[in-house]
Amino acid sequence: MSFHEVRFPEDISYGSTGGPGYRTVIIETTSGAEQRVSRWQDARNVYRVRYAKKTQQQMMALLSFYRARRGALHGFRFKDHRDYSTAADGVGTPSSNDQSLGTGDGSTLTFQLRKGYTSGGITVWRNLTKIVANTIKVRVGGTELSTGWSVNLNTGIITFSVAPADTVVVKAGCEFDVPVRFSKDVDTLLEMAFESYDDNSTDGLELVEIKNTTPYPADVVTGGSEETCLLGSYTLGANAARVQVLQPSTSGISVFLPDMAKIPPGGPVFWIVNTSPDYSLTLKDADGGTVATLSPGRAVEVLLTISSTGSRVWYIL
């Protein structure tokens, strides 16, 4: 698969519906208490293009676009008509004061174009990767620069010829597209209705944003159980059985959880039971920090959560 740097026809995409969404696992106990676990750090947009009364020429343009992308195989650009600019209203002309990209340190040459969404004192940053040519404006400190920098329109990375000085704020503005693909349903069938030569319609096309995320190992376990008598400290791998029935045979035994980078957020990642009648065991993270202490007979659920700062944290139920 690859990404085709072409935009979905705007005369067809105008009037589409959709927007961002997250994937949150909500675990609710019988008492009504709940724990919410974010599986995605960033939102993903989904769009539905619905239209009728399109001309034969427009329908053929859509058909050609679909075939050239080979359904869902190749990604492409999409203009979100509600949010395509770094301007405050999402649609206005970009300015070099729109968004802060960070501060210089005298050595860093590259900065990622991004857009902040703020509410209630919380700002969530969205990296912008599909930049519209000739719309970028850049400011270093109080000066707007027309030279001394370049931008990769496909990654949104600005590269300066001279690194911005220490503590100097780097800002920028631009228009941007969303990288998308056709959904699985559209990949199976592009359904169009031809009522007459210039009276054509489709029930809807679903487009899904392509997120550039780091894949997790294919061997991350999704089930299974394991019973172990512990004679000493024990390390759980990313592919260890989901249910761990552990019996420490002496005091002072620690069980080390996997490297958090190798586990997808969510859970429960493990159910751990201490079946010893006499000895506690200590759950620790991969760096040796204590996560929880399991007294004799205690059972816990271990989840991997995303904190408000975006870092991963083990959570015990």
Specify whether 287 is located in the same domain as 248: yes
Please state whether the predicted TM-score (pTM) of the whole model is above 0.75.
no
pLDDT for 217 equals 47
Residues in the chain: 317
Q: What is the pLDDT of residues 165-179, one digit of tens each?
A: 999 999 999 999 999
Specify whether 39 is located in the same domain as 149: no
Residue 307 forms part of a structural domain: yes
Specify whether 69 is located in the same domain as 151: no
Residue 91 forms part of a structural domain: no
Residue 93 forms part of a structural domain: no
Residue 94 forms part of a structural domain: no
pLDDT surpasses 50 at 221: no
CA distance 160 to 105: 13
Q: What is the pLDDT of residues 31-60, one digit of tens each?
A: 777 767 676 778 899 999 876 566 778 888
In which domain, by residue range, is 195 found? Answer: 3-81+179-209
Residue 214 forms part of a structural domain: no
- Strand, helix or coil at 225? strand
pLDDT surpasses 60 at 138: yes
Residue 216 forms part of a structural domain: no
Residue 218 forms part of a structural domain: no
pLDDT for 214 equals 46
Specify whether 235 is located in the same domain as 304: yes
pLDDT surpasses 90 at 115: yes
Q: Quick one: tokens of 162?
A: 């001279």
pLDDT surpasses 60 at 201: no
Residue 76 forms part of a structural domain: yes
CA distance 105 to 111: 12
Specify whether 115 is located in the same domain as 170: yes
Least confident of 86-90, 116-120, 198-202, 308-312: 198-202
> Cα–Cα–Cα angle for 96, 101, 103, nearest 5°?
110
Check: CB of residue 221 under 8 Å from CB of residue 239: yes
